Amino acid sequence: MNEKTDCLFSLSSYKLQKAMNKYGILSLVLLSTIFFGYSQDTPLNKHGLLVIEDSRAYKKMVSKNPENKMMDLRKVIPNLIIDLKYGSTDNFMNKILYQQTNTSYLRKPAALALAKVQEQLLQKGLAIKIWDAYRPYSVTEKMWEPVKDERYAANPKYGSGHNRGIAVDLTLVDLITGFELNMGTGFDHFSDTAHITWKQLPTQILSNRLLLQQTMEAAGFIVLQTEWWHFYLPDARKYELMNLSFSQLKKITKGQQIK
């Protein structure tokens, strides 16, 4: 659920206050514009982070770089299996954290990279099953409270790759049997057993994990060392944090062409 590269993007409240003291209010506004490329109507949150909250801010974001638009994964990836754990009570918090939907979303680079993963796996009689992809920032805030361990949960002070639309939690499914491959633990299993470096597992489980990792890495993803299921694109700070709902994203991506 977390990756350390996210930390690099944050312009902290401390730095903003320091800039205010040194340069004054007008200079701070200019500084914020240089850093973020947005007008003053996009405020920073209590952690000094810019979080995209509405369609207008999203359009400004995409106008800066159309390649970073959000995409409906069902439109991009054939035979996609989706089981959004946080859209149900089947998660570590035992509560619904966002609305259930039959699809999910990622930035265009992540979505197209994941499509390559699926293409490779289909040739082996396998497919990906997505447990979580894009996740609103407000959900990350809720998930942090009961965990407060950056190995397993994203600190809202920095945000998550999920909030930026470049991280995905997934596993592999055998298309013939319909069953998930045995990875040794389930989703959100907060223990050393879920770590990539944990090798005290049967050979077949290690082989399954390695297949997932190698296929994802070949497409440009990086695995989170403490969670075998979590993969993200590098350079997280290139992508803004978002708190858009799935309803908002559904409207935004309606009629979207895959290019």
Q: What are the residue numbers of the active site?
A: 227
The set of residues, in sequence order, having a beta carbon less than 8 Å from that of 210 and lying 6+ positions away, is none
- Check the CA dihedral 108-111-114-115 and report its sign: negative
Report the first-to-last Cα separation within the chain, whole angstroms: 29
Provide φ and ψ at 129, rounded to 5°.
-120, 120
Which is nearest to 135 in space by CA: 98, 96, 92, 103? 98
CA distance 188 to 3: 14
In which element (H, E) is residue 171 found? strand 167-174
CA distance 218 to 220: 5
Provide φ and ψ at 197, rounded to 5°.
-85, -5
Inter-residue contact 173 to 129 (CB < 8 Å):
yes
Return the residue matching tokens 């946080």. 86
Inter-residue contact 199 to 140 (CB < 8 Å):
no
- Residue 62's Cβ-count burial label (10 Å; 0-12, 13-18, 19+) is middle
For the chain, state the CA radius of gyration: 19
Inter-residue contact 132 to 97 (CB < 8 Å):
no
